[in-house]
Amino acid sequence: MRTHRSMRRSGALAATALSALLVLAACGDDDGGDDTASGDEPSAEAGDFPEGSTMAELAEAGEITVGTKFDQPLFGLVGPDGTPVGFDVEIAKIIASELGISEDNINWVETVSANREPFIQDGQVDIVVATYTINDERKQLVDFAGPYFNAGQTIMVLESNTDINGPDDLAGRRVCSVEGSTPAENIRTNYPEAELFPTGAYSDCLEPLRNGQVDAVTTDNVILSGFVDQNPGEFKLVGETFTEEPYGIGLELGDTEFRNWINDVLEASFEDGRWEQAWEDTAGTVLDTPEPPEVDRY
């Protein structure tokens, strides 16, 4: 499979050759193409970034491919028009806009928990913004900017359940989580008495919970809160969070320049209110607005 990045590289070369021809043809005309840019449109250009950097490449291409969740209310959920909505989606839009890429030029790709590292490694996506916990194991395979939010693992049960109040109550019970996620790994490693029922995506846990095939669902508090909100009267969260899940933006391993740049963008958005606005427009309709986290420039 051709990687996205190499496709973009050849596209950028073709674009350069084409613009040289256009300059010759226009001969003295203005810069052709920026005329329609309104004040609200992103204004960055490839020339604003170091030559050869991922930022310059993306700005030149005028598009970015973002991996996100498609089935998680509040963070990444595909709406009726086929484009995802949620806090992760808004974070990706902030990054794209700093590259001069409008939201119409973001290619959204569904990533589930297990395919995020391979999608980054294969170049199928430029970045992943998908409730993606930064941890040392994953850092062997991809780089992370962020965090831009701190979540924590918790448990969701049927509204009528009174037996399960925390992770220790999962012993001897069936608990649904997603293959390739940190909460599933945590159950396997630290709660081996629980019977893990692994699925491909969190939405696949809902029917098994409803019909009693599983007793609980476990993952990050904010993901579960989205499901509780979306299904009134059916489910509830129990107990406190019992892990730390700092959400990062996954990118190609070793692209420190791009990682540092995204960290700068995140910090600017924490300062100027865009991060808070993104939260309030999405997850903030259900959850309290947190303080922005400290970016970790490891």
| Helix 256-272, helix 87-98: angle, nearest 10 | 110
Cβ-based nearer residue to ligand GLU, 97 or 219: 219
Q: What is the dihedral of CA 128, 133, 134, 138, to 10 degrees?
A: -80
Q: From the CB of 111, what's the least distance to ligand GLU, in Å?
A: 9
From 68, 97, 154, 181, residue interacting with ligand GLU (rule: CB under 6 A):
181
Smallest separation, CB 201 to ligand GLU (Å): 9
Q: Which stretch binds ligand GLU (CB under 6 A): 15-23, 56-64, 78-86, 126-134?
A: 126-134
Nearer to ligand GLU, 1 or 298 (CB): 298
Least distance between ligand GLU and beta carbon 261 (Å): 23
Q: What are the DSSP E strand ranges found in 140-191?
A: 142-151, 153-158, 174-178
Residue 41 phi, psi dihedral angles, 5° rounding? -75, 150
Task: Work out whether 245 is an interface residue with ligand GLU (CB under 6 A).
Answer: yes
The least distance separating ligand GLU from the CB of residue 167, rounded to whole angstroms, comes to 15
Among 70, 132, 149, 275, binds ligand GLU (CB under 6 A): 132
User: Judged by CB under 6 A, which of 131, 154, 218, 221 binds ligand GLU?
Assistant: 131
Smallest distance, ligand GLU to C-beta of residue 150, A:
10
Neighbours of 20 (CB within 10 A): 10
Q: Given the rule CB under 6 A, which of 12-20, 129-137, 141-149, 228-236 is the region that contacts ligand GLU?
A: 129-137
The dihedral built from the CA positions of residue 269, 272, 275 and 277, taken in this order, carries a sign that is negative
Q: Does 182 bind ligand GLU (CB under 6 A)?
A: yes
Select from 71, 101, 97, 105 the least CA-distant residue to 86: 71
Q: Which two tokens stand for residue 100?
A: 């001069």
Q: Judged by CB under 6 A, does residue 220 bind ligand GLU? A: yes
Question: Least distance in Å: CB of 148 to ligand GLU?
Answer: 13
183 binds ligand GLU (CB under 6 A): yes
**Residue 201: which residues within 8 A CB-CB, separation 6 or more?**
69, 71, 112, 113, 178
CA distance 76 to 95: 16
Q: How far apart are the first and last CA of the chain?
A: 32
Q: Which residues bind ligand GLU (CB under 6 A)?
A: 113, 130-133, 178, 181-183, 219-220, 223, 245
